[in-house]
Structure 1
Amino acid sequence: MADDFHPMLTPAEMARAAEDAAVAKATGRPLKSFLLGLTAGGYIALGFVFFVTSQVGAATVPYGLARVVGGIVFATGLALVVLTGAELFTSSTLTLTARASGRITWGQLLLNWLVVYVANFIGSITIMVLVFLGGVHHNAKSGWGAVVLNTSAAKLHHTFVESLALGVLCNLMVCLAIWAAYSGRTTTDKVIAVTMPIALFVASGFEHSVANMFMIPLGITIRQFAGDDFWAQSGLDPSAFADVTWPSFLAHNLLPVTIGNVIGGGVMIGILYWTVFHLAVRHDGPASVGPKP
């Protein structure tokens, strides 16, 4: 009946929906998670493509305004993840809620994380290779590639502790966005729910492990293979980016950011809200996650 329809889920119903989704991810077929992980990595990479494009020529725009615009357009990537059911490692940290309830094992949780993480990396690298082969870094007289290099270098200049803390802050916002999206019933609801939290993390310079799987490898690839014409057009000095390398990326960025993402999303959002709502969830029984007929 129409009277039974509610425009959004209650907070307790959102907690149940998040836990049910976590169980479905961790107990599903690894091949399905892998394929959905490939798409998620690709979508986040495409969001970063949009971000880079928005920052070309932004030096004359007030810093805050340019970053907010970049954050809003980057949110396209997470909106696509939510709407298509793709599996993203940062939001998959919420499977800790299902482990806390005893509905999945540690083995199931860790296998899901590993499969999705690897798939996200492959998906991100796939888009990175296509973007490079397409010569996108030459756009705007190589200004597009200059944004990539400057962004990559900035990410690699954080200390280990700074990268970890920025990873925590990032996945606080990503998992809040995912959690809020569970409340929505329509495409519009879900897109609005994810946009501003994601814009906040991007505009503030927080660190997202999967996004960095695209951005920094692209910076490394441009530095190594772009050629003299790129450096001449961009006006950049190649020696200024000598530390944009794979070892630096893996040890000084991806590792601490990944740890921070797990803490920020899985513990500080997932476990926190599980602690707040698990009694209500247990007593109320399964919550409806969609409109009733």
Structure 2
Amino acid sequence: MAEQKSAGTSIGSGQDCLLPARTLRKAADVGAGKASMPHWRAFLLAVMAGLFIAMGAALMLVVKSDSSLGFASSQILSGLVFSVGLFLVVVAGAELFTGNNLMVIGCLSGRYGASRLVGSWLTVYAGNFVGSLLLVLILVGANFAGLNGGAVGVAAASVAASKASLSPVAAFCRGIMCNVLVCLAVWMSFAGRSVADKFLACVMPVMGFVASGYEHCVANMFFLPYGLLTQSLGLEGDASVVLLAGACSNLLWVTLGNLVGGAVLVGCTYWLALGRERPKAPAPSASVAEQGSADTSR
């Protein structure tokens, strides 16, 4: 009986994982560390995040190349393997634009200004793009598209063409829902205390957004260039231009949707619900900020 009571108290007091109010404070602390990080370091860690997410996207193309899978099975399995990317970001430590939308919490808490927030976002977005393009170049050299008798290349072209053909409204709305789930995954990873906690926090939301067909701007930094490059080998000039225009439109509207879903619907909502009445915490020292950014980068 005593052991059962002790276990219940542990869970209730947040020893099993952080409770929402403490998770909010941790999110603000992590955001302060990211905002104070030197731009060169943030850029390099963002390159790694772009590479990680692109790795998950490449695994997803392998699943998509198997025509024997039904629609639901293919979507769910694609989501499971794609979650490798976010898990690497969370545990290995990297800077991901979509997850960093939660930095709005620290800004609203008065830990840093809007200019530092936007500057960090722009640096990380650029680094994510470079990391994604790096894997595109590597996979082209490795003839990744030739796997499964060329079916991986067909899947890459199909995925890219589908994304490039989305209307702005569809891309925007799918971007909103994607980053609601991604930022909830990052939020829950803040609450977790072990690598297993963080793994479970990443897998289910990511599987949900991939299976539902939602749009992630950093993943699309890989899907669109790689798929269009694969497909353009058999296209005439005008068709390539149309697809390129659609890809640019997709990235624009998906990025805006990701911002709304992550920064507004998740970050601002949790701050309004849990953080408005709390006193502003002082900004951490430079050494603490850098250590926190290195240990808990997302």
Q: Which of 67, 81, 91 is 2:75 aligned to?
A: 67
What is the correspondence of 1:104-253 to structure 2 with a 5 Å cutoff? 104-225=112-233, 238=235, 242=240, 245-250=243-248, 252-253=249-250
Q: Residues of 1 paired with 2:278 and 2:99: CA distance?
A: 21
Partner of 2:263: 266
Which whole-Å deviations, capped at 9, do the CAs of 1:230-252 have from their partners, x for residues lacking one?
Answer: x6xxxxxx4797466333211x2
Secondary structure of 1:7's match?
A: coil
What stretches of structure 1 move > 4 A for 4+ residues in a row? 238-244, 283-286
State, as a whole percentage, how many aligned pairs show the same letter: 33
1:8 aligns with 2:17: yes
How far 1:283 moved relative to its partner? 8.9
Q: Residues of 2 paired with 1:42 and 1:113: CA distance?
A: 17
TM-score normalized by the length of structure 2: 0.86
- Cα distance change, pair 83–241 in 1 and its aligned pair in 2 (3 A): farther
Partner of 1:42: 51
Instruction: Letter of the 1:26 partner, please give it.
Output: A
- Cα distance change, pair 283–123 in 1 and its aligned pair in 2 (3 A): closer
Which whole-Å deviations, capped at 9, do the CAs of 1:30-76 have from their partners, x for residues lacking one?
Answer: 1111111000000000000111111212x332211110011011000
Q: Which runs of 5+ in 1 are unaligned?
A: 226-230, 232-237
Partner of 2:251: 254
Q: Which runs of 5+ in 2 are unaligned?
A: 1-9, 284-291
Does the Cα contact within 8 Å between 1:23 and 1:103 map onto a contact in 2?
A: yes
CA RMSD of aligned residues (A): 2.5
Q: Residues of 2 paired with 1:165 and 1:54: CA distance?
A: 25
Does the Cα contact within 8 Å between 2:104 and 2:268 map onto a contact in 1?
A: yes
Q: Which of 81, 86, 92 is 1:84 aligned to?
A: 92
- Cα distance change, pair 133–270 in 1 and its aligned pair in 2 (3 A): same
The count of residues paired between Structure 1 and Structure 2 equals: 274
Does the Cα contact within 8 Å between 2:161 and 2:228 map onto a contact in 1?
A: no
Q: Which of 33, 38, 46 is 2:42 aligned to?
A: 33
How far 1:197 moved relative to its partner? 0.1
Does the Cα contact within 8 Å between 2:111 and 2:280 map onto a contact in 1?
A: no
TM-score normalized by the length of structure 1: 0.88
Q: Residues of 2 paired with 1:101 and 1:8: CA distance?
A: 23
Instruction: Letter of the 2:21 partner, please give it.
Output: A
How far 1:281 moved relative to its partner? 4.7
1:277 aligns with 2:285: no
Does the Cα contact within 8 Å between 1:121 and 1:213 map onto a contact in 2?
A: yes
1:17 aligns with 2:14: no
Does the Cα contact within 8 Å between 2:111 and 2:281 map onto a contact in 1?
A: no
Q: Residues of 1 paired with 2:57 and 2:21: CA distance?
A: 33
Secondary structure of 2:279's match?
A: helix
